[in-house]
Structure 1
Amino acid sequence: MSPPALNVIHLNGPINSGKSTVGAALAALLPAARFIDGDDHDAPSHLPYTEQWELALARITRLIGAARDSYLVVAYPLDQEGYERILAACERRSARLRVITLAPTLAAAQSDRGGRILTEWERQRVAQMYREGYASRPFSDWVLDTSSSDPASSAREIARRLAAS
């Protein structure tokens, strides 16, 4: 018996763009949806970031392959290589992939918002991620500015656009 049809909604964006909070809110709005926070990869914190990122992507691709849900909402920043891995996992699973990039203004992303207090390292990493293009990936189906909207409103907007497409 083949697995059910799967829609993977991947929320991309830099640190503090709202991926996790919007993702959880979006999964609550969609039928038979599961939320995956890519940062919950259980990689030991002493590992170099590149190894932690590799483990996170490997976990996400495994979960796509095993999913029995109608929707899988994933929150994790993607570069081109990561996107290609996620796309390949979706193609193996015959799943539809939609990438939504959450892109608040740089000032908003570097601010303490939503109860999150950023460290100086995180503020610097946000700026680096903007320079590296995480807020404007060419593989995005669309880009959503989350600067002035709360997570629930952003999730409703994404759900509305998904239903219309």
Structure 2
Amino acid sequence: MPTALESTSVGADVLEYIYGPGQTERQLWISDFIKIVDPWMPYIPISELHTRLLNESKQLKGEDILLLACIKLNTEPCPEGQPVNKQYLAVKSTFVSAEIYGTLSIRLLQASLLLLLYEHGHGIYPSAYTTLGVCARYLGALDIETGPYAGDWMDGEQRRRLWWVVYVMER
């Protein structure tokens, strides 16, 4: 089972959304995310955002591109005030592709939670409900729970935070 989404499996619409003309403001999207989302839902380590998403010298993996697209969805105003737009549909369909390719990773769960936040915040139902179900299933598939974690402290803390975010969003 692949653990990472290849960048070749990310749709052209998502790549254009991130890399298209005038889309060079990754630093701005990340800083807006840190100001808007992170204070009340800190489940993605800020150091990880900087090292993985802002490093211009390395090519982003597909799941990193998807995470960046979800960050952008949550930090920019909706085009024409329509939350169900071309960009949202491109991102949503890439999640379906990731599922078809059998991708399973913490990074994809983080991106799914941002998609859930976007859907819930814009009243996109029943999509928000089904995305929540996907997030809950990812917790089980990745063996993420609130109990003690035998590995690295930072990894254990990140896993606990992911579990709690899914729990809070479900409530």
Superposition TM-score, scaled by structure 1 size: 0.31
Superposition TM-score, scaled by structure 2 size: 0.30
Q: From the two aligned structures, give the one with the greater strand fraction.
A: 1
